[in-house]
Structure 1
């Protein structure tokens, strides 16, 4: 059995066509087509149906892919590990990360990691969609509150939360209100009324409220709708309104007194994870990056520059 032919079949099947597989694997379509044909000849079965509309796996092709994709990935990792050298942290590291985290943190983080491991070159793709690490050939991904996925492993390296902030010129509403009687018990209780406030937002739905941990309830009335949280932060500093933002991107402004915090929203905490595929042979560069991210935020609190 020609393992190169099997690897090329997996490449074509995974990417759904010879053109995409050629670009991903940096091999000619003619070579890929010939090797798949050779594999079909060796097995005596048709693996791929080719037509003007595209490519479709036969039943035999689907069965072969499902049984060999995982083992072939492990073989590829084993070869990569051997090439990199036993325990040597080197090679190219491809990282997928959310756009905002990429803009505010990944430049410094990559520079620090390269100082520790100069044999590594790094490519970061910043976008908010959930990438497929295997299909798109990423080594690691950084994700907020990721869904449980048996194909990925990793660690939570930092936590964030949502806070309501405003410029110092905005007076924070008082939390107390006159006591009112409840219909059921007849007892007096303090129930702060919801406060309507001018808000700077990215998105908001009708009926949204911000219930803060200090007992204050706010009803945001959007006066500015902006397409990024950094724009929201800057407009809030300029006094345009009140905003609900990740604490990580306003901590320095809070420290400098450019913003004041009115409270946090309970139940909106964000766990930030660094993830990689759950193959048994994680490469030294992946292991080193996961360990680096865990050590970078020793108190577990996410802080971003800017």
Structure 2
């Protein structure tokens, strides 16, 4: 396969048309059109559907663009690094991270990384949904307890667990009586299975507040409105100070945060150094480390 023709195809696919690609790159439109046509002929595939006013990728063209665009960028960056005599991470690094980690730690992580690697342009998007890395152009995603995915590989860099906590103002749970609760999401009465120093127990909860953010849940619990299930890293300082009390560990609530990237792609220098930076920030990956990193 002609790599130059492949690069021209990706240029046109990225800009959505021959004219836009020509203006962005300073290349003749006719040259781009000819190179894409030659690539289609060599593959015996139609890569674009050419309408009167627009240009759309075919299903085969979309698959080729998704699988080769990042590889071409990495080839270019590798060649540039070799020619400069050093493998210095540079270029854009797009990361998708979950909401709670972004609210508590990603700002500090990103700032420290940017100071250490100023030639890397870090872009972090916060969302709890499972993004399509290839389709949406992410280099790395951070996910909580991810399902197995054959197209992704990575490593767990942090661990946490859920605990039931409440303000000293809230009475301790009593069998047969529901305690007021602050929950994430909606729903009626709930029963929380916990492990205490005395063994297994169930806490009946009647939700009095429903929140979409665990930070909001924590703040409401601090105000004494009810009990909640929260990551221990988020409330460890409150538990240490006695401003919140520990009612028990939520049974089977182990949390792992994974940094994932596509397995079919060469690991870029940018992703590699970011993974190393996470390891240096959380060498043991414990809830205590995260709590200390977050601070008060």
TM range (shorter): 0.7 to 0.9
* Residue aligning to 1:180: none
Of 238, 250, 256, 2:241 maps to 256
Whether the 8 Å CA contact 1:199–1:220 is kept in 2: the answer is: yes
* Structure number with bigger Rg: 1
Asked if 1:149 is matched to 2:182, the reply is no
Whether the 8 Å CA contact 2:96–2:140 is kept in 1: the answer is: yes
Render the CA deviation track for 1:62-121: whole Å, top value 9, x for unaligned. 2x6656753553333122233345432333322211122111101111222234334333
Asked if 1:109 is matched to 2:112, the reply is no
* Residue aligning to 1:268: 253
Whether the 8 Å CA contact 1:156–1:294 is kept in 2: the answer is: no
Of 161, 181, 184, 1:199 maps to 181
TM-score normalised by the chain length of structure 1: 0.77
Asked if 1:122 is matched to 2:104, the reply is no
Asked if 1:39 is matched to 2:21, the reply is no
Which segments of 5 or more consecutive residues in structure 1 lack a partner in the other structure? 175-192
| TM-superposed deviation, 1:138 | 2.2
* Residue aligning to 1:293: 278
| Structure 1 pair 239–74 and aligned structure 2 pair: CA distance change class (3 A) | same
| Structure 1 pair 43–91 and aligned structure 2 pair: CA distance change class (3 A) | closer
Whether the 8 Å CA contact 1:167–1:237 is kept in 2: the answer is: yes
| Structure 1 pair 35–292 and aligned structure 2 pair: CA distance change class (3 A) | same
Asked if 1:75 is matched to 2:72, the reply is yes
* Residue aligning to 1:18: 16
| Structure 1 pair 300–194 and aligned structure 2 pair: CA distance change class (3 A) | farther
Match of 2:136, SS state, is coil
| Structure 1 pair 280–212 and aligned structure 2 pair: CA distance change class (3 A) | same
Render the CA deviation track for 1:158-214: whole Å, top value 9, x for unaligned. 11111111002223236xxxxxxxxxxxxxxxxxx4541111122243453101012
Q: Which has the higher helix share?
A: 2
* Residue aligning to 1:179: none
* Residue aligning to 1:212: 194
* Residue aligning to 2:89: 89
Whether the 8 Å CA contact 1:18–1:33 is kept in 2: the answer is: no
| TM-superposed deviation, 1:135 | 2.9
Further displaced range: 104-113 or 77-86: 77-86
* Residue aligning to 1:183: none
Render the CA deviation track for 1:273-300: whole Å, top value 9, x for unaligned. 1112224531222111112212322232
* Residue aligning to 1:188: none
Whether the 8 Å CA contact 1:84–1:90 is kept in 2: the answer is: no
